[in-house]
A and B are shown apart, each in its own frame.
Chain A
């Protein structure tokens, strides 16, 4: 009877130990995950807004150069990565 009780205790102890997360890999709570996701979303939105603002600024700058500094070089937007580099040869 005593042996049986000892075995039962041992089984419980082993189960508890087996359920612990590995050292240094403590789980992230759902709340923490949601918060992180929100931060990433916010950053993505910020980047998109920044790109829009940059495009608008480039357009305004080119319009200004065209209007008040005819003949000067205008800023060209960076080439799209899907097109081959197009260089004027002559």
Chain B
């Protein structure tokens, strides 16, 4: 009898403990992505609807709750500032873990040197689409063609002339190229010098992009548009006609079609 009483007591305590435990946590929203709106200024957030009963989702921008929605999907209208996004699901006071994060912060690379196409170093320049890193590539090696977003040249033999940023697909007609050249080159386009300094650029222009652009001054910033729809910008920090080099600072927006270059 005493044994039965002890067993019942233990069972009751156990049930009480389990009953008072936390509720099952909400599942974080999956497949979180961002993309550019049709005006190239809005940021469109998308994710999978969670299957549990929830009240909605909280949108976070730079770790601050910016808005709530009841169904999956949100558009951050013309934020004019870059940042990191994620969402959570919530039900009453309960909130899920954050979704994966996505960023519109451009990748900035300082002090990259490129040579005029007749100079003694790499003349091609390309951005990595996944991490925004910048690399100088040799234009003499056509196997680099897929990675090159632009090159610079004085459009003549030698390297002491007037410099221009040039779309890679024009290289085969560059009078400065004296070696056999063939490849599947990308095309890109450039604006004239932007009115703002590199650090002050918020968004780059929608139009006014040309297949080549004269490099006329230092501390001048140009916007770049690639044929796969990405935007970047290039600041000419210094120019040396003695050895045909440009020192560049660059920024790249990894969200295709988004013109926000604020950083």
Report which A residues bind B (CB closer than 8 A): 82-90
A86–B155 contact, CB under 8 A? no
Contacts of A90 in B (CB 8 A): 189, 206-209, 225
Asked if B212 is at the interface of the complex by the 8 Å CB criterion, the answer is: yes
Question: What are 16 pairs between A and B in contact, CB < 8 Å?
Answer: A82-B155, A82-B161, A82-B175, A83-B155, A84-B153, A84-B155, A84-B164, A84-B166, A84-B211, A84-B212, A85-B170, A85-B173, A85-B211, A86-B213, A87-B211, A88-B189
Question: What does the 1/0 interface line of B167-211 toward A look like (CB < 8 Å)?
Answer: 000100111000000000001010000000000000000111111
Asked if B160 is at the interface of the complex by the 8 Å CB criterion, the answer is: no
A89–B210 contact, CB under 8 A? yes
Asked if B156 is at the interface of the complex by the 8 Å CB criterion, the answer is: yes
Q: How far is the CA of A90 from the CA of B40 in the complex (A)?
A: 14
Contacts of A86 in B (CB 8 A): 210-213
B210–A87 contact, CB under 8 A? yes
Q: How far is the CA of A89 from the CA of B227 in the complex (A)?
A: 10
B174–A84 contact, CB under 8 A? yes
Contacts of A84 in B (CB 8 A): 153, 155, 164, 166, 170, 173-174, 211-212
Question: What does the 1/0 interface line of B24-59 toward A look like (CB < 8 Å)?
Answer: 000000000000000000000000000000000000
Closest to B174 in A: A84
B side interface size, CB within 8 A: 23
Within the complex, the shortest CB–CB distance from A48 to chain B, in Å, comes to: 24
Contacts of A89 in B (CB 8 A): 187, 189, 209-211, 225
With most chain B CB atoms within 10 A of its CB, the pick from A86, A87, A90 is A86
B164–A83 contact, CB under 8 A? yes
Q: What 3 A-B pairs have minimum CB-CB distances, sorted nearest first? A: A89-B189, A84-B212, A87-B211
Q: How far is the CA of A46 from the CA of B206 in the complex (A)?
A: 47
Within the complex, the shortest CB–CB distance from A38 to chain B, in Å, comes to: 35
Within the complex, the shortest CB–CB distance from A72 to chain B, in Å, comes to: 21
Closest to B189 in A: A89
Contacts of B175 in A (CB 8 A): 82
With most chain A CB atoms within 10 A of its CB, the pick from B170, B174, B208, B210 is B210
**Given A84-B174, A84-B211, A90-B189, 18 further pairs, Cβ under 8 A:** A82-B161, A83-B164, A83-B212, A84-B153, A84-B164, A84-B166, A85-B170, A85-B173, A85-B212, A86-B212, A87-B210, A88-B189, A88-B209, A88-B210, A89-B187, A89-B210, A89-B211, A90-B208
